[in-house]
Structure 1
Amino acid sequence: MSRYDGQLACVRCDRRYLAPSVALIGGGCPRCADEGVPANILPVLDLTGMDHLPVDLAQPGLFRYRAMLPLAADTRPVSLGEGGTPLVDLPHLAERSGVRGVFLKDESRNPTWSYKDRLAAVAVSKAVEVGAGTVVVASTGNHGAAIAAYAARAGLRCVVLTLASVPATMKTLMQSYGADVVALQHPADRWSLMRELVATRGWMAMSGFANPPAGSNPYGVDGYKTIAYELVEQLSRPPDVVVVPVAYGDGLSGIGRGFADLAAIGVIERVPRLIAAEPFGPLAAALASGASVAGPVPVQPSVAFSTASPFGSQQSLAALWASHGAAFATPDDEEIMATQLQLAQEAGVYLEASSVTAAVALGRAAAAGVVCHEDTVVIIGTSTGLKDVGATAARLPDVAVIPPSVDALDDALTARTTT
């Protein structure tokens, strides 16, 4: 039975919207927008009388938690078998960080190899529910690929507004799922165009179009709640800290909301502390100064391009405040890429640069005393390094071509160890 009655609430002012029009989805709260502070509007569930997490194993993928998702009871879910991703123990990272344990929630195991599949599954299911024929998304890659795949599954048209600067691999992936992909030069151009398309053509936004950003499709944000549900089922005790790579905070917000659900129904005692990993630190700056708005901060090109935002969102701040959390900037490209190879070579996990910022931020948190030796930490591995192999290859030696002899092999191995 669905616990959702159609209401959305602003994360900043708590104004309620009942069954809002498609035109409102992606733009956030009109009242807050008028005040110059865009803020997302997110689903409100009625958890009255609940004392456990309902799981329906007959449902596909993450929809086994569909009673906790913002869909009508008769909506047929659009699923590719997403969710149920493994936890990978990272003992070396735990030792370096000085904590009890570190686990990687490996979201690269999802159908399009990123955690965006969780958002896409719920958001596209909602698009089908409301009768949308076309979905539109602004994306540098993972988000667009996920929406394109799920739209293909649902038989919907998908239009992706990307940036000319994104890696060719990302563009190829989005196009391969049948999306109509066009590139623009500047991020804000995508948002203004999407706003016009939503208003004039009735397309349903799968990401946000507010400027500064407020967050993505609110129904899709709740898809990330399922990460929290899975973590509590997978671990013998709830994690003390969860570190999430953050741009506009969809994942951070959703995970926090999932833990809040579990606390509200008595499954856990408290929400774990959330830590935002962000290349340039708008959230960290806001928390340090006590500001109610995060950013803009100076930015530059980054290997973690998908999270390299000058702004933090209101939904991110709300999640951090609610969990007594923290945020850390991770601006050093060489540190990120060195950590990527370190995790790959010591733990067998190959994460996209934006994902690796979670491990870098954990080091920052340990140095600052934000995590302690008794803590169990989960880092969210949002996507695979295969999405941008070029960034990794640029920091690796060329593969030697040798004749078929042991001596030639030894020479090549010796040369590798001395370079």
Structure 2
Amino acid sequence: MTRRFAYACYRCDSELPVGHPIDSRGCPRCLDEAPSNLRLVYRGDIAEEGKLTKKEQPPSLWRYANRLPFREDAAVSLGEGLTPLRPAARLGAEIGVPALFIKNEGHNPTWSHKDRFSTVAITAAQQAGASTVATSSTGNAGASLAAYAARAGLSCVVATAAGSAGPMLTQIEKYGAQVIPFENKSDRWAFLAEGVERFGWFATSPYRHPVVGSHPIGIEGYKTLAFEIVEQMGGAVPDWCALPVCYGDALAGLWLGFKELLRDGEIARMPRLLAAEVHGSLALALDQGIDRVPDVTARFNTLAVSIGATRSTFQALKALRETRGIAVPVSNDGLIALQEKTAGMEGIFLELSSVVPIAAILAARQQGVIGSHEAVVAVVTASGLKDVDKSNPAAISRSFSTVDAALEVIGA
């Protein structure tokens, strides 16, 4: 049920056996100089694993099981992946990118891209004989992990920060997970570390400083974003792919997916990647040419809470460097207006963090980095219902006493 693999460092390529404990520290050789996450290295030819025929393919990302750590018959699945890729011509014209496409991850079972991670991570936990999975999350990761844990019959613990988006916390609790909010955000990691050490929890998120990224096995699920984009574009490759970035798990997985396709001759070139971030740690690391991603000062309280970390990771930096990519910091200015414009023009209601890549595309176009002729895919990661309490904190309360009064307001 499990393919043969080992772990390797993104930075120094040192290999570690599959039995190496994933303790959230990443590569032991790079820890002091420039902390780096691990990636999977598969043993044997992928072709030997056998590709599924169209008739055999499950209606989920597990249609790509030959490129994932587990076979499809072992998968804990809720039908994730295969999300739509739609041309967004009206919005594209508005921001100067006529060939704009939106890959809408809000169509996943828990309405975010995290389901691509969770289906693989929970499968790994089940295969490892774990009884409890745990994560540190302000929303999407916790909701997703809770749902897949419920599907697998595993207990789930979500350590979160006080003040996280209410709809997502409700979602997590409805799946039966234990939600543990902390006033001091850093206490979440000490809590997870104790759970791993004392109770054998299978932790999927980072829980030690400095962050290197999430569990390498789960990140493999994000490779399927690349597989789907190429398939949905009829074998073509966009010039750019942009997505919101915190610790860069999805960015790294997307990059790994495109690398596999390039290696196997299924595409002729790599797209350039755009990391839409908040506080600018990746932009600074790229500018300074350093490997140790700096911890920058937060200049404001971002509306894009799920990507609000002040330091990203080497795995994200590596993906950008190898694709001639860029990082674009995005402020709160105009974010809600752009959320409303995307919904009003394309019928796609996005979580505020998912609006950030569209804002970054607009900024890169205005700076001349993205050309007007280039095809750009915005990977938007979650539904706007996830943080509606932040994007529209005051519900519309007015009402009308007559039909004529209402018609007058809309100009009818």
Give the TM-score category using the shorter length.
over 0.9
Q: How does 1:4-403 map to 2 (within 5 A)?
A: 4-21=3-20, 23-33=21-31, 35=32, 37-46=34-43, 48=45, 54-55=51-52, 57-71=56-70, 73=71, 76-236=74-234, 237-299=236-298, 300-331=300-331, 333-394=332-393, 398-403=396-401
Find the aligned partners of 1:53 and 1:278 in 2 and give their Cα distance.
38
- 1:126-162 residue CA offsets vs partner (Å, 9 max, x unmatched): 1111111111100000000000000000001100000
CA shift, 1:373, in A, is 2.2
Find the aligned partners of 1:334 and 1:99 in 2 and give their Cα distance.
20
Partner of 1:413: 410
CA shift, 1:235, in A, is 0.5
Find the aligned partners of 2:81 and 2:162 in 1 and give their Cα distance.
31
Give the aligned residue type for 2:378: I
Find the aligned partners of 1:49 and 1:341 in 2 and give their Cα distance.
44
Find the aligned partners of 1:238 and 1:351 in 2 and give their Cα distance.
24
Find the aligned partners of 1:77 and 1:265 in 2 and give their Cα distance.
25
Find the aligned partners of 1:336 and 1:395 in 2 and give their Cα distance.
17
Find the aligned partners of 1:187 and 1:12 in 2 and give their Cα distance.
28
| TM-score, normalised via structure 1 length | 0.92
Distance 1:317 1:413, change over 3 A: same
Find the aligned partners of 1:164 and 1:140 in 2 and give their Cα distance.
9
- 1:355-394 residue CA offsets vs partner (Å, 9 max, x unmatched): 0001000011112222112211000110011011122224
Q: Are the counterparts in 1 of residues 4 and 44 from structure 2 also a CA contact under 8 Å?
A: no
Distance 1:60 1:27, change over 3 A: farther
Find the aligned partners of 1:345 and 1:200 in 2 and give their Cα distance.
50
CA shift, 1:92, in A, is 2.4
Find the aligned partners of 1:53 and 1:256 in 2 and give their Cα distance.
23
- 1:308-357 residue CA offsets vs partner (Å, 9 max, x unmatched): 110010110111111110010001x2311111000001111000000000
Describe the SS at the equivalent of 2:157: strand
Q: Are the counterparts in 2 of residues 52 and 265 from structure 1 also a CA contact under 8 Å?
A: no
> Which range moves more in the overlay, 286-295 or 42-51?
42-51
RMSD, matched Cα: 2.2
Find the aligned partners of 1:74 and 1:338 in 2 and give their Cα distance.
42
Find the aligned partners of 2:366 and 2:165 in 1 and give their Cα distance.
33
Distance 1:53 1:267, change over 3 A: farther
CA shift, 1:239, in A, is 0.9
CA shift, 1:106, in A, is 0.4
Q: Are the counterparts in 2 of residues 26 and 218 from structure 1 also a CA contact under 8 Å?
A: no
Q: Are the counterparts in 2 of residues 140 and 163 from structure 1 also a CA contact under 8 Å?
A: yes
Find the aligned partners of 1:49 and 1:124 in 2 and give their Cα distance.
22
Q: Are the counterparts in 2 of residues 157 and 179 from structure 1 also a CA contact under 8 Å?
A: yes
Distance 1:399 1:82, change over 3 A: same
Give the aligned residue type for 2:379: I
Structure 2's unaligned 5+ residue stretches are none
Q: Are the counterparts in 2 of residues 75 and 129 from structure 1 also a CA contact under 8 Å?
A: no
CA shift, 1:55, in A, is 4.5
Describe the SS at the equivalent of 2:58: coil
| TM-score, normalised via structure 2 length | 0.94
Find the aligned partners of 1:140 and 1:153 in 2 and give their Cα distance.
21
Q: Are the counterparts in 2 of residues 121 and 150 from structure 1 also a CA contact under 8 Å?
A: yes
Give the aligned residue type for 2:101: F
Q: Are the counterparts in 2 of residues 293 and 314 from structure 1 also a CA contact under 8 Å?
A: yes
Distance 1:97 1:74, change over 3 A: closer
- 1:8-58 residue CA offsets vs partner (Å, 9 max, x unmatched): 11112211111134x42533222222x153311111135747599945544
Q: What is the count of residue pairs matched by the alignment?
A: 408
Give the aligned residue type for 1:341: E
Q: Are the counterparts in 2 of residues 47 and 265 from structure 1 also a CA contact under 8 Å?
A: no
Distance 1:308 1:200, change over 3 A: same
Describe the SS at the equivalent of 2:117: helix
Describe the SS at the equivalent of 1:94: helix
Q: Are the counterparts in 1 of residues 241 and 273 from structure 2 also a CA contact under 8 Å?
A: yes
CA shift, 1:95, in A, is 1.8
Overall identity of the aligned pairs, in %: 38
Distance 1:362 1:52, change over 3 A: farther
CA shift, 1:7, in A, is 0.3
Q: Are the counterparts in 1 of residues 65 and 72 from structure 2 also a CA contact under 8 Å?
A: no
